[in-house]
């Protein structure tokens, strides 16, 4: 995933939604491409330096999420973090730390992902449900907290 190809796809999607792809929003994209998991507005501000006011970061994140280029992740401690939508970043899962709240992306090898699909289908069948997707959240303690 390169910033320039993601940039182009985001620019075109935002254009379709009638949303301007401002310099601030482009910086949000680069920061998220460089991140290994969802980031909150405050975390992004730290990453970007204080050049972008927090209020404008909140607004950019909300606008980009409603245009479908970012996906919100609602943390257990009431913090909303954002990441690139899966059509941009690829399918992955999350490791969520119950102490510090950090969220890390994890991609499974194909064989493991296939096993997970089977498991999800079995669970769905049990509930007379048709599975269209899934997201695995593993809760525990991160390297820094354990």
Residues at the interface with Zn ion (CB under 5 A): 83, 97, 99-100, 102, 105, 142, 145
C-beta closer to Zn ion: residue 22 or 104: 104
Output the smallest distance, CB 77 to Zn ion, in A: 11
C-beta closer to Zn ion: residue 70 or 97: 97
Written as one string, the DSSP assignment of 39-62 is B-HHHHHHHH-TTS-HHHHHHHHH
Output the smallest distance, CB 62 to Zn ion, in A: 18
Written as one string, the DSSP assignment of 66-119 is HTTSEEEEE-TTS-EEEEE-HHHH-S-EEEEETTT--EEEEPPPHHHHHHHHHH
C-beta closer to Zn ion: residue 14 or 96: 96
């Amino acid at each position: 995933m390169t910033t320039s190809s993601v940039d182009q796809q985001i620019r075109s999607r935002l254009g379709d939604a009638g949303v301007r792809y401002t310099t601030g929003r482009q910086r949000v994209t680069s920061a998220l491409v460089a991140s290994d998991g969802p980031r909150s507005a405050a975390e992004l501000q730290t990453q970007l330096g204080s050049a972008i006011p927090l209020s404008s970061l909140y607004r950019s994140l909300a606008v980009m999420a409603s245009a479908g280029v970012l996906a919100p992740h609602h943390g257990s401690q009431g913090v909303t973090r954002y990441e690139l939508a899966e059509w941009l970043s690829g399918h992955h899962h999350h490791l969520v730390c119950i102490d510090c709240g950090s969220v890390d992306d994890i991609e499974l090898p194909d064989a493991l992902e296939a096993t997970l699909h089977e498991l999800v289908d079995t669970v769905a069948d049990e509930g007379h449900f048709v599975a269209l997707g899934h997201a695995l959240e593993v809760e525990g303690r991160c390297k820094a907290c354990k």
